[in-house]
Amino acid sequence: MSLPEGSESLQNDIAQLCELWFLNELEGKEELITQTFPYLIIRSLGRGLVSDVKRVWGLRQCLLLMDFDDDSSESLKQLLHQCMIHPTYLKLEEGRRFLSYSFGLNPGLAKEFHKTIKNQIPYCTMNVLSLYGEVYFRAWRVASGAYLKVLEENCIQDLMFAAVHAQRTGTKSMASRLRKVLEYIHQQKKQRGVDEALLRLYQPIIWRAFKVANPMVRANAAALLTDIFPLQNPDAGNEEIDELLQKQFDILKDLLGDAHPTVRATAIHGVCRITGVFWELIPAHIIKMFLTKLVGSCCLLVS
């Protein structure tokens, strides 16, 4: 039954009744909510009100009733894609939680959401990029099985690869934008499992990047190593941890003597930050070596 024009208030009253029906788990809730939920998303996208986004978040579990492999869900999927780039969903905590929750609905859909977000990265403010990082991290933290594999390999690791190989020109280059998205995840290193995941996901990418001929790739990798230092698996044995740490010290030493000034400048910034933050953890002979190389690198930059 269609409603007359100008009946928005009546539509909302009906939607509220259906919400209560679903939340109180009354008989027939599935049939009611599958029609109501798209209306609520459209309402939240159109008006952009906090209250509407909170209503959508409150009914998130109804998405589990949807078959996203069926063609009938296409219009709902398009609405969810719009949510991924809507300012109110990003600025509101319940909105970001909803976006993260949506990543766990269907592995194929998660890949599509990632493409939508990635296409927005060149146009977002740095604050919004950080919020996207939070969305990815929240989704990763609760994922398991096929969903975890997609989030790690097709989403987060894809961002890591792109950050290593992105262009560096401009004050807000693509490389710096991608690093901003990843920064939120990097900052969660103290949470259990994050260090191990960062090592596992960066390992196939970052070591190789330091050996390529393209100096911009080496510079990007140096900037990322600064952000994620130390790459480590806390559950590994002491010998393995020490070997990996020494590998990173050796790489930083080589970067300070790199033939390209951009790489050297990035390495100087990185080594200064790392020694400043981890002063008490770095062996004295390593610090002495860094200081010697820093003086030499600075001389090269001004000569």
pLDDT tens string 135-192:
999 999 999 999 999 999 999 999 999 999 999 987 789 999 999 999 999 999 999 9
Q: Residue range 228-234: average pLDDT? A: 96
What is d(CA 206, CA 220) in angstroms, rounded to the nearest whole number?
9
- Whether 1 has a pLDDT exceeding 70, the answer reads no
Please check whether residues 138 and 40 belong to one and the same domain. Answer: yes
Whole-number pLDDT of residue 62: 87
pLDDT band at residue 75, thresholds of 50, 70 and 90? very high
* Same-domain pairing of 134 and 214: no
pLDDT at 221 over 90: yes
Note whether 64 and 138 are same-domain residues.
yes
How far is the CA of 90 from the CAs of 121, 173, 204, in angstroms? 13, 22, 31
For CA atoms 278, 282, 285, 286, give the dihedral sign.
negative
Would you state the pLDDT for residue 84?
Answer: 98
Q: Tell me which residue of 276, 278, 185 sits closest to 224, measured CA to CA.
A: 185
Residue 272 lies in a domain: yes
Residue 104 shares a structural domain with residue 215 = no
Last residue of a domain, one of 91, 115, 145: 145
Whole-angstrom Cα distance, residue 33 to residue 40?
A: 10
Please tell me which of 80-94, 170-184, 268-282 the model is most confident about, judged by mean pLDDT: 80-94
- Statement: residue 127 has pLDDT above 80: yes
Q: Which of 111, 145, 179 is the last residue of a domain?
A: 145
Q: Same domain for 141 and 193? A: no
Specify the pLDDT at position 47: 82
Whether residue 296 sits in one domain with residue 214 = yes
**Token output for 178:** 């991608």
- Residue 174 forms part of a structural domain: no
Three-state SS for 170? coil
Residue 268 within any structural domain of the chain: yes
Domain assignment present for residue 15? The answer is no
CB burial class (10 A; 0-12, 13-18, 19+) of residue 48?
middle
Cα distances (Å, whole numbers) of residue 128 to 22, 47, 69, 188, 264 = 33, 20, 30, 18, 30
Q: Which two tokens stand for residue 65?
A: 């009733």
Contact 39, 75 (CB under 8 A): no
Enter the pTM of the model: 0.90
Percent of the chain with pLDDT over 70: 86
Q: Is residue 166 a part of any domain in this protein? A: no
Of the chain, the percentage scoring pLDDT greater than 90 comes to 73
- Residue 247 in any domain: the answer is yes
Whether residue 7 is contained in a domain is answered as no
- CB–CB of 50/44 below 8 Å? no
Domain range enclosing 126: 24-145
Work out the average pLDDT over 29-38. Answer: 71
The sign of the torsion formed by the CA atoms of 114, 120, 121, 127 equals negative
Q: What is the pLDDT of residue 30?
A: 61
Q: Which of 75, 45, 152 is nearest to 107 (CA)?
A: 152
- CA distances in angstroms from 34 to 23, 40, 59, 62, 129, listed in the order given: 13, 11, 11, 7, 32
pLDDT over 50 at 3, yes or no: no
CB 201 within 8 Å of CB 228: no
Q: Over the chain, what is the mean pLDDT? A: 90
Tens digit of pLDDT for each residue in 47-70? 878 999 999 999 998 898 888 988
- Vertex 138, ends 224 and 226: CA angle to 5°? 10
Which of 29-33, 115-119, 159-163 shows the lowest per-residue confidence on average (mean pLDDT)? 29-33
Q: Which of 86, 118, 145 is the last residue of a domain?
A: 145
3-state DSSP call for residue 188? coil
- Answer whether residue 299 shows pLDDT above 70: no
Question: Structural domain tally of the chain?
Answer: 2
Q: How far apart are CA 290 and CA 276, in angstroms?
A: 12
Residue 31, CA distances (Å) to 26, 73, 274 in order: 11, 14, 57
- Same domain? 47 vs 133: yes
The residue with greater pLDDT, 23 or 133, is 133
Query: Is 6 inside a domain boundary?
Result: no
Q: Say if residue 124 is in the same domain as residue 197.
A: no
Q: 33 and 95: one domain?
A: yes
Sign of dihedral through CA atoms 108, 111, 117, 120? Answer: negative
CATH of the domain at 250: 1.25.40
pLDDT of residue 170: 75
Q: What is the mean pLDDT of residues 121-140?
A: 98
Verify that 201 and 110 share a domain, yes or no: no
pLDDT (mean) for 263-279: 94
Q: Does 137 share its domain with 222?
A: no
Residue-wise burial string across 3-24, b where 16 or more C-beta atoms lie within 10 A, e elsewhere: eeeeeeeeeeebbeebbebbee
